[in-house]
Amino acid sequence: MDFTKKMLRDGALENKVIVVTGGGSGLGKAMTKYFLELGANVAITSRDLAKLEKTAAELESENGGTRRSGAKCLPLQCDVRDYAQVENMLDSVIAAFGKVDVLLNNAAGNFISPTERLSANAFDTIIDIVLKGTKNCTLAFGKHWIDTKKKDNVILNIVTTYAWTGSAYVVPSATAKAGVLAMTRSLAVEWAKYGIRSNAIAPGPFPTKGAWDRLLPGDLAEKFDMAKKVPLQRVGDHQELANLAAYLVSDFSAYVNGEVITIDGGEWLKGAGQFNVLEAIPEPMWDMLEAMIKAKKST
């Protein structure tokens, strides 16, 4: 069996309107691509409108199934840290498609560093994007659904396997993702009566060009090969994650609520905390790593 194949039948997401935060690249783009192929209209958001527009045009033009089904990809600039921008983004989605059925909180930020090297602002940046941004979108969309009495809505959050174990050297991310996981489980109970399901996916290593280059610049990706930590001896394929996400936002998962599904090849069971291996990095290498990250940011 080929795990890179698509799982759901054609048209499985027809008539669905899905919002994917951080949808312009990486895993967000991969999930958006599959949602479109299955017939959903998808709004993708981030702060970089140019990237969003490029992604939307690319996905609509390359997918013959998208053209046949009439599914649209709508790029919308939105900084999820700003609640007013989130409300404006929601209004734009409703104006374009008449409704919204699914919120996929995927926008995130992360970097590796000894915690004592972080400034308060650096810590806040990750907390604001991951936890505050997820809260802003969840609250805005939830209030809309409750006020309009619309049923059969889904919130799907992307967390991490270290949301429940913690992980050294990515403390802001671990802190924020743990908060998102608690929010997921809490609202699954509180908002079920309004017809809102709330679930999460905890991916293990699914390398993406931008995010992993920032996390492990230079030759560090080879020195700390994540595949070696996975019992299956490989990293995840983006279609595998897209398959799981499509199932969880579809009507086929209508009885799944309050769950966090791990998709990591058994990695966290083998050794909790993805970045604990970085204990082996000596102080001089941290100086070099910090310089490489700063240099990459400036390019």
Catalytic residue from among 83, 162, 194, 247: 162
Contact 173, 166 (CB under 8 A): no
Q: Which of 229, 131, 212 is nearest to 174 (CA)?
A: 131
**162 counts as catalytic:** yes
Q: What is the DSSP string of the chain?
A: --TTS--SPTTTTTT-EEEEETTTSHHHHHHHHHHHHTT-EEEEEES-HHHHHHHHHHHHHH-HHHHHHT--EEEEE--TT-HHHHHHHHHHHHHHHS---EEEE---------GGG--HHHHHHHHIIIIIHHHHHHHHHHHHHHHHT--SEEEEEE--THHHH--TT-HHHHHHHHHHHHHHHHHHHHSGGGTEEEEEEEE-----HHHHHHHSTTTHHHHT-GGGGSTTSSPPPHHHHHHHHHHHHSGGGTT--S-EEEESTTHHHHSSSTTGGGGG--HHHHHHHHHHHHHHHT-
Give phi and psi for 126, each to the nearest 5: -70, -45
- Residues tagged active-site: 162
